[in-house]
Structure 1
Amino acid sequence: MTGTLVLAGTPIGDISDAPPRLAAELAAADVVAAEDTRRLRRLTQALGVQTTGRVVSYFEGNEAARTPELADALVEGARVLLVTDAGMPSVSDPGYRLVAAAVERGIKVTAVPGPSAVLTALALSGLPVDRFCFEGFLPRKAGERLSRLREVADERRTLVYFEAPHRLDDTLAAMAEVLGAERRAAVCRELTKTYEEVKRGPLKELAAWAAEGVRGEITIVVEGAPAPVPGDLDPAELARRVAVRESAGERRKEAIAAVAAEAGLPKREVFDAVVAAKTAKSAKPAEPAEGAPGA
């Protein structure tokens, strides 16, 4: 008999938000893998529960090395409970490697649902919630951050991000630059905690507000791109959108179809725009080599 891997959601702020099953799972687990064992100790004390199983640390620094050990314990029949500092394991937190290892070995994986900063921020944002995508943390380097934002500049779904407070102003400024200064957004700070705050407004205003300094756990919710009006996009923009999708791994045929659907145009028109852009690029004269006549 193989064991079971249990992913347990933990409170994102208010300890009373802990799911009822969490205490029972903490008490029954053979192994508790925690992102921070000190925080685990505070959690169990607050819940009035005693762990009887072995407690091990499982965080970004040792996740790769510790996964085989925990996978072996699962194969041997252990019930392994995985908890992170807040929210659901593996969602921008340690856990994915262990889930993948368990699935590969045919081990049962289940969850104790709990509070989610993503869904809480989305619900509080006042922005459309019918379709959304979670983008996690943006890259720390400015150039990589801008590049990642350009990939979603035309995304119609609402976007959700996590961010560190000391990078918030730079991130919001980059979002205003790439996504549009007037794009609506909400910065959700310290959700469910004493100093919970939701700041809503255009990205340019939020960037100016964040420049004064913001503290706490941050989730950003950004309005999706507006639906283009047929005929509003010129051929160069159509070709650019296709190129962005291709660079993200889509085949050209699928990219053209998707851009045509977004723009409300026939696929042939988008195809012609791509061909025209490619022709213009190949016809552009090459830059003379350094030191060559005329350079």
Structure 2
Amino acid sequence: MAVGSSDLLRQTAVTISLVICIVGSMIGVGVFGGTPIAQAAGGALAADSTLLAPATPAFSIWSVVYAGLVAYTVWQWLPSQRANSRQRSLGWIVAASMILNAAWILSVQAGWLFVSVLVILALLATLILAFLRYSQSRAASWVEAVVVDGTLGLYLGWTSVAVCANIAAALKAAGFSGFGVRPEIWSVGVLVVVAAVGIALAIKGHGRLALAAAIAWGLAWITVGRSADSPESFPTAVAAAVAAALVLGAAITVRTRTALAGGSAGGGASALPRR
């Protein structure tokens, strides 16, 4: 494909968005004097704030996601990728996701929890759109499968869990009482929805492991948090563990069946890599 000015504009936008995203993340951990996310907004998003809050180590996945976004940004500058149809379909979406990521951090820093919910929902929708785009075709190489599909899969998977924790924190801060229903019933119900969504994404994405692994990672740390830290909740811990196992199991099952079907068909497009 011919390289046009729109390609250069897209590549530049992705790069600028990455810089904004990284600066935002540094603000979020307090590097530039900002309040760390766990302490911002009165600690509403701390690991012990709600039943759906993952334990603190869960957030280390952001380091992997940010590293992947850096790799993606470099990848999309390669001459072979500049006019690539896959990158053309994803570039602006990824750029938007990184801007939204920074906006979410700043909204939490400002204590605007309701706004942060709207932003993270927009981020989730953006990443789902990216997922639908890159799921339409397979990566041309294992490098692309890791850098593009893998990075965006981790990003979406973790955000799928984070959005639940964010909404729960905002509702608690707003004084939501759950209409008299026990908190454990709400938390288990939400985890059932997360499991259903994770399984649906596993089927739609033909068993993409990075996506399922990120969802399972977040759910597993909810299990740890509700087992070892306050507020403790045995039903929530069990539900999160079961949900994690179901999502990961669904992805592995779908991926295995897809691989076997591809092998029996003699390879072809199904033999190309995906993450």
TM-score range, shorter chain: under 0.3
Larger RCO: 1 or 2 (CA < 8 Å, sep 6+): 2
Greater fraction of residues in helix: 2
Q: TM-score, normalised by structure 1?
A: 0.23
Rg comparison, structure with higher value = 1
More strand per residue: 1 or 2?
1
TM-score normalised by L of structure 2: 0.24
